[in-house]
Amino acid sequence: MKEAPVLVLNANFEPLNVCSSRRALGLMLTGKATLVMNGRGEIHTVSRSFPIPSVIRLERMVIRPRRRVRLSKREIFRRDDYTCQYCGKRLRHPTVDHVIPKRLGGPHTWENLVTACASCNHRKGGRTLEQAHMRLLRPPREPSASAVYVLEHYLRGHEEWRPFIEGW
């Protein structure tokens, strides 16, 4: 229970991140955070008992730079919903394709990488879309780093967090 995830909110209730119950209790005991939601019972010591938090809120406002989603293979697949961007087929084993091939100077950016099935990726090869007579279903772009997108995988096991995350 000490390592159970806890949603951390900024002073204005903006979702910041997720930490362990142990870290959340430390923040609460030092007065840096307050309990917003207790959904897990209590921890008992010899003289006191403390609620095990599910959601905490920081006492002071934390100003963070604009959040960005890190470019990775997994995030490209997630952005494209594991769907080939050429034929529209849902994939169990997707590949990544460079829209402008690397050999032609195509950069390793959100706007140049798409999810593709093996057959479409092979058919396109090292050619441009025009040369291969292919087109994309939708133009690739960097996903917004909204709280819903970033913390989405935590929502499956913690539905009580949904009202705090979906508002942002």
Q: State the DSSP code for 90.
A: B
User: At residue 125, what are phi and psi to the nearest 5 degrees?
Assistant: 60, -140
pLDDT digits (tens, 9 = 90+) for 56-102: 999 999 998 888 889 999 999 999 999 999 999 999 999 999 999 99
76's enclosing H/E stretch is: helix 73-79
Helices (H), the chain: 21-29, 73-79, 118-124, 129-132, 147-155, 162-166
Q: What is the pTM of this model?
A: 0.71
Retrieve residue 75's tokens: 């995030």
> Helix (H, G, I), strand (E, B), or coil: what is residue 99?
coil
Name all contacts of 22-30 with Cβ < 8 Å and 24+ positions apart: 24/53, 24/56, 25/50, 25/52, 25/53, 27/56, 27/58, 28/53, 28/56
Q: Which amino acid is at 138?
A: R
pLDDT digits (tens, 9 = 90+) for 4-59: 899 999 999 999 999 999 999 999 999 999 999 987 788 888 898 888 899 999 99
Retrieve residue 64's tokens: 């963070």
Query: Between these two residues, 147 and 167, which has the higher pLDDT value?
Result: 147
Domains and CATH numbers, the chain: 5-65+145-166 (no CATH), 73-132 (1.10.30.50)
Retrieve residue 91's tokens: 């994939």
